[in-house]
Chain A
Amino acid sequence: MASFEEQTIKNIFCEVLCIPAEEITDTLAYNSCVQWDSLKHLQIVAMIEEKFEIEIDMDDIIAMENYGKVKEILHKYLT
């Protein structure tokens, strides 16, 4: 299992959502970012799981409603 690296998470968001890094802030949210829909959400989760060699619980996948929350949840798996 890899350690928590925020830059890696940010890169995944940039790649999947096709938005620049400066737009990836803690308040970037599933329900307000037009690029972040259910399909993209699942792609982000799949990439994070592959990159960090973890398996994220369904409840956590659903709870990842903004970038700040994603980081908070991933801390649980990666520390």
Chain B
Amino acid sequence: MHDIGIGTDIEEIRRVENNKDPSFLAFLKKNFTRIELDYCLSKDTPAPHLAARFAGKEAVIKALSSLNITHTFYPDIEITNNEKGVPSVRINTEHNEKLIVKISLSHSSGMALAFCVIIREV
């Protein structure tokens, strides 16, 4: 038997463009992992990548919530890309070993979107 959780989120890219602002830098340091920041900030235009990852973290939290799994917060969720650009999720909290987490990210010139599916063995 399996339970399935889903979550989605959409973010405006312009809202994460001001990455020199002190409040925004504090937000980045608190909610993104070092690996995520290194990846996003290595890009010529980091904003779409930051927005997609933030949307991804929101989507994961919503998918977890739909399975009644709470107390997972933004820095606990790390979204990375493999060499083909396929994103994957690692949740750095306890009791998530029976979860299969899949995520898809996308963006246009103005918006970034994420969709997450979580399968839990029961």
Contact = CB atoms under 8 A, between A and B. Distances in A.
Contacts, number: 36
Contacts of A38: 58
B31 to A, nearest CB: 6
Q: Is the interface of A mostly helix, strand, loop or mixed?
A: helix
Interface residues of B, number: 16
A16 to B, nearest CB: 6
Contacts of B58: 38
A71 to B, nearest CB: 19
A23 interface: no
A44 to B, nearest CB: 8
Interface string B1-34: 0000000000100011000001110110111000
Given A15-B23, A16-B23, A38-B58, A46 B29 contact: yes
A38 B31 CA distance: 12
Interface of A: 12, 15-16, 38-39, 42-43, 45-47, 49-50, 58-59, 61
